[in-house]
Chains A and B, each alone.
Chain A
Amino acid sequence: MDQSLRELYQEVILDHSRHPRHFGKLEHATNTAQGYNPLCGDRVTVYLIVGNDDRIADIKFEGKGCAISQASASLMTDMIVGRTVAEAEKLMGGFLELVKGENVVDLNDDDRERLDVMAGVSAFPMRVKCATLAWHTMKSALEGGGTAKTE
């Protein structure tokens, strides 16, 4: 098999997409946003509970999409729960650099290692928007909601 495909659809990714973590609706969410990719019609909704300490106490997502978008959303929810809003946004910055194949400047080794399963996306420029949809939606929710679009 093509090496870049092997990297893109590695077991961790497929596992996340088949058994997404934090999947479903979150009652009493403080922040919510919808994400939409008009090119493929994929949709995602991200629910967050942000505490007074600015910490993300809980997060869930629901929606339909490709393996990449589902895995990315699942991994994101796994990684940002418990972080402060600022930390989540910083993580997102690193993630965007990673999937676009740019130099990742500001991630600690542990985060870098966990996000690295998504690095294969950088070899598929047409699929970057799939990987980033949930993240943009999360950011939009933190900024007060609305609809995030990737295209």
Chain B
Amino acid sequence: MTAQTKFRTAFNPAAARKDFQILSRSVYGKPLVYLDNAASAQKPRQVLDAMDDFAVSEYANVHRGVHYLSATATERYEAARETVRKFLNAESSGEIVFTKGGTEAINLVAYSYAMPRIEAGDEIVLTVMEHHSNIVPWHFLRERQGAVLRWVDVRDDGSLDLDSLASMIGPKTKLVAVTHISNVLGTVNPIKEIVARAHAKGVPVLVDGCQGAVHETVDVRDQDVDFYAVTAHKLYGPTGIGALYAKKAHLKAMRPFNGGGEMINEVTRDMVTYADPPARFEAGTPPIIESVGLAAALDYVNSFDRAAVKAHEHDLLAYAREGVRQFNWLRVIGDAPGKAAILSFEAEGMHAHDLATILDREGLAVRAGHHCAQPLMERFGVASTTRASFALYNTRAEVDVMIEALAKARKILG
């Protein structure tokens, strides 16, 4: 690689920061340092403008009217679906179902795919690092249909033991549900291998990609996943929209989970027939403006060299990891090789909420609590952790602020 190409592919966080006006505000008189990106990322001007422009000049309901604006809005909505297809490298945009978020995408699989296929005693394999959104829908199946949840443990460094996962998959297993990236540990799971192991036993795999799609390049065909759930708001897009990728054969065999307008073929007093996927799963008026925002967010992410962004985020993580090493009272939870830029830790003698309150007054937005991952908290023997999660716009200078604030918190509480 020549020096010139290197220069062109380098990622400049300072330039990207200018797209996020909120990052220049202050809180309590201190510059905002936003490190709660795994909960939700901030939105760049490009996303906000795209939604605003669309609402101002092209908005109408989709798939219904014959009028000009309805046709325009429908085109934009379907174009957004195509943008998501490309982002995930799905074969056809018909495999992309818009949902209100990652949670609804997983619930759609639980209700429409798993529920009719589960009998008492059938098993669902999941990992202890799942977010509640990839746990509770399976508890529904346990409660209502007698499904058995089989939990794959993690190693002490937060990595998944593939052999242990594979050994859990038996003749009664109906689905493997696993996250691509842990929202607490940052662990990046080897999806392609997991899928290969599961498919070898004829079991489909659902991947919670809410964090994964942010930090990793997703290729659902190469990974051969059956279902992949994403949400827009962690990807610099708006709230209220997400998507489910599902293999066409699965979608065709699935009954709808929500009933209403836009998802039917024909309705009479005595019968109803359903539209083909993906419309079959999109009852009611969808998040239309948000779909335009989601497409703009994916365009935004793709406007950078994603490998360079990833390298930048990894640099921040390594820098922060090194920075907290000086604190012998701080225990990092999750140190798996190649992990994404999420740093969770427990501080001796300091509760996560006290710590986060003090950091907050220094302008730092971090997360404290169980991060909707209580089985994982239990696995590591903690009630809660403090979590700093990085995005493309964060900088080393912000990590410095965090390290200083941690030292200060120790002084106050220690």
Interface majority SS (helix, strand, loop, mixed), chain B: helix
Do A67 and B383 form a contact, CB below 8 Å, given A9-B412, A41-B369? no
Cross-chain contact B353 with A127 (CB below 8 angstroms): yes
Q: Is the CB of A41 within 8 A of B374?
A: yes
Report the bound CA distance from A66 to B368 in whole Å.
Answer: 11
Within 8 A of B (CB), among A14-42: 14, 39-42
Given known A-B contacts A68-B354, A124-B357, A5 and B412 have beta carbons under 8 A apart: yes
Residues of A within 8 A of B350 (CB): 67
When chains A and B are docked, how far (Å) is the Cα of A127 from the Cα of B413?
A: 16
B28 at the interface (CB under 8 A from A): yes
The answer for the CA separation of A14 and B370 in the assembled complex, in Å, is 23
Contact B412 A1, beta carbon cutoff 8 Å: yes
A4 within 8 A of B: yes
Q: Does A65 contact B (CB under 8 A)?
A: yes
**B351 at the binding interface (Cβ < 8 Å):** yes
B358 at the interface (CB under 8 A from A): yes
Write the nearest CB–CB distance from A127 to chain B, whole angstroms: 6
Number of A-B contacts (CB under 8 A): 49
B377 sits at the interface (CB 8 A): yes
Pairwise interchain contact B384-A67, C-beta atoms closer than 8 A: no
User: Of the candidates B28, B353, B361, which one forms a contact with A40 in the assembled complex, judged by CB atoms under 8 Å apart?
Assistant: B353
B383 x A64 contact (CB < 8 A): yes
Candidate in A5, A42, A68, A124 with the most chain B CB atoms within 10 angstroms: A5
List of B residues within 8 angstroms of A65 by Cβ:
351
Residues of A within 8 A of B369 (CB): 39-41
The one of A1, A40, A127, A130 that contacts B370, using a Cβ cutoff of 8 Å:
A40
Mostly, the A contact residues are: mixed
A67 touches B361 (CB 8 A): no
A2 and B361 within 8 A (CB): yes
Contact code string A56-91 (vs B, CB < 8 Å = 1, else 0): 000000001111100000000000000000000000
Residues of B contacting A130 in the complex (Cβ-Cβ under 8 angstroms): 353
CB neighbours (8 Å) of B353 from chain A are 40, 66, 68, 127, 130
B335 CB → nearest A CB, Å: 23
Q: Is A8 part of the contact surface with B, judged by Cβ < 8 Å? A: yes
Nearest A residue to B408, CB-CB: A1
B374 surroundings in chain A (CB, below 8 A)? 41
CA distance A41 to B369 in the complex (A): 7
Q: Which residues does chain B contribute within 8 Å of A42, judged by CB atoms?
A: 383-384
Taking the nearest CB of chain A, how far is it from the CB of B386, in angstroms? 11
Q: Which of B349-366 contact A (CB under 8 A)?
A: 350-354, 357-358, 361
List of B residues within 8 angstroms of A9 by Cβ = 354, 358, 412-413
* B354-A67 in contact (CB<8A): yes
Separation in Å of the A19 CB from the closest CB of chain B? 12
Contact B351 A66 (CB under 8 A): yes
Cβ contacts under 8 Å, B408 to chain A: 1
Measured between C-beta atoms, what is the minimum distance from B367 to chain A in Å?
Answer: 11
Considering the complex, give the chain B residue whose CB is closest to the CB of A40. B369
- Report B-chain residues with C-beta under 8 Å of the C-beta of A39: 369
Most chain A CB inside 10 Å of its own CB: which residue of B350, B354, B383, B384: B354
Which B residues are in CB contact (< 8 Å) with A124? 357
Please indicate the chain A residues that have their CB under 8 angstroms from the CB of B351 in the complex: 65-67
Q: Does the CB pair A4–B361 fall under 8 Å?
A: yes
Chain B residues contacting A68 (CB-CB under 8 Å) are 353-354
Q: How far is the CB of A103 from chain B (nearest CB, A)?
A: 25
**Chain A 130-142 interface 0/1 with B at a Cβ cutoff of 8 Å (1 = within):** 1000000000000
Cα A67 to Cα B370 with chains together (Å): 17
Contact of A41 among B28, B354, B357, B383 (CB under 8 A): B383
Minimum C-beta distance from A150 to chain B (A): 13
Most chain A CB atoms below 10 A, which of B350, B351, B408: B351
Q: Which residue of B lies closest to A130 (CB)?
A: B353
Residues of chain B within 8 A (CB-CB) of A126 are 357
| Complex: A68 Cα to B355 Cα, angstroms | 11
Q: Is the CB of A40 within 8 A of B384?
A: yes
- Structural contact, B28 and A2, CB atoms closer than 8 A: yes
Would you list 17 pairs from A and B whose C-beta atoms are within 8 A, ordered by A residue? A1-B408, A2-B361, A5-B361, A9-B358, A9-B412, A14-B413, A40-B353, A40-B369, A40-B384, A41-B369, A41-B370, A41-B374, A42-B383, A64-B383, A66-B354, A124-B357, A127-B357
Nearest first, the 5 closest Cβ-Cβ pairs linking A and B are A66-B351, A66-B353, A2-B361, A41-B370, A67-B354
11 further contact pairs, Cβ within 8 A, besides A9-B354, A40-B352, A40-B353: A1-B412, A5-B358, A9-B358, A40-B383, A41-B370, A41-B377, A41-B384, A43-B383, A67-B350, A67-B413, A127-B353
